Amino acid sequence: MDHGGHGMMMDLPPFTLSRGLEFGGDPFFLVGCVLALGLYGWGAARLWRRGDAWPVGRLVSFALGVLTIAVAMCTKLNDYGMVMFSVHMVQHMIISMVSPILLLLGAPVTLTLRALPAAGRGRKGPRELLVALLHSRYTRIISHPAFTIPLFIASLYALYFTSLFDFLMGSKAGHIAMMVHFLAVGLVFFWPIMGVDPGPHRPGYVMRMLELFAGMPFHAFFGIALMMASEPMVGVYEHPPASLGIDALSDQTWAGGIAWAFSEIPSVIVLVALVYQWYKSEQRQARRIDRTADRDGDQELAAYNAYLASLQSRSQ
């Protein structure tokens, strides 16, 4: 059977996990994953060589993030995702909700800023350009919740419930662009919430949790809408190849269940990360207070005790 998505023969055998995880998929993402790992490893090695610390946990997190992209896009999951809505939804959820979280916990921007050399006074090099971008009006806009939350929601509803999805699936370039978009949206959405890297918007931890919960329910609603539909809602998947032995509506129900379930997974991961960051922040604050007290003989506490004593003397 010829599938219009990439103009290739998609007469695939019935899906199994072992078949889906066979090496294959898109060379664009394979090259991207290798480059990302290589550049990150170069940056970490540069810091270590000059005696600076870089947490191994961040390196592991970033590597896992790249690995999840490779699993979703550089295996036969990519082929099955062209003809099975459920497999495509697994790809989408990994790329947009799991990979971004792991990549952001790796703090790639912080690593880049520390690894790149300064250009010198009056000159602008890659490091200075990156700093300027981080402080630009453009970055302030795209990292603001008023932008990130609607974009996160629209990436689901405006894509799957319009003809745009069928159009993008009609060519290899369109499919790549869609997957890159999913990854970018996930990075933009989660960066202000739990990213370790510097950014223009860093609200308190409670507000970050509220931002997270403002977007997650819409994933659940989207999944429920797919599960409750009485007919296929996406044209590309209306007529799956007979060799797969699946029914389009049943496959769509599975896709909806996957979208609904994945709305819970990142919420747990992000909440754990936020609680841990909050705990570490409180520890750093406590250490700063202790160091200040050691330097000035705890004058703040002495002044407070004197204030309490003055209040007591007035009341007598």
**pLDDT in the model for residue 40:** 96
CA–CA separation, 301 and 246 (whole Å): 72
**pLDDT in the model for residue 75:** 94
CB 240 within 8 A of CB 15: no
**pLDDT in the model for residue 7:** 39
**pLDDT in the model for residue 71:** 95
**Backbone dihedral angles phi then psi of residue 51, each to the nearest 5 degrees:** 90, 10
In the chain, which stretches have pLDDT less than 50? 1-9
**pLDDT in the model for residue 20:** 92
CA–CA separation, 105 and 103 (whole Å): 5
**pLDDT in the model for residue 134:** 86
Q: Phi-psi category of 172—alpha, beta or left, where left has phi over 0 and alpha has psi -120 to 50? A: alpha
For 65, 142, 299, the CA distances from 269, given in Å and listed in that order, are: 13, 23, 42
pTM for the model: 0.81
Average predicted confidence (pLDDT) for the chain: 83
**pLDDT in the model for residue 54:** 93
**pLDDT in the model for residue 88:** 95
Q: Where are the beta strands (DSSP E) in the chain?
A: 2-3, 8-9
For 28, 88, 150, the CA distances from 154, given in Å and listed in that order, are: 25, 18, 6
**pLDDT in the model for residue 291:** 60
**pLDDT in the model for residue 102:** 93
CB atoms within 10 A of CB 15: 20
Per-residue three-class SS string for 44-58? HHHHHHCCCCCCHHH
**Sequential DSSP letters for 237-258:** GSS--GGG---HHHHHHHHHHH
HSE of 240, CA atoms in CB hemisphere, 13 A: 27
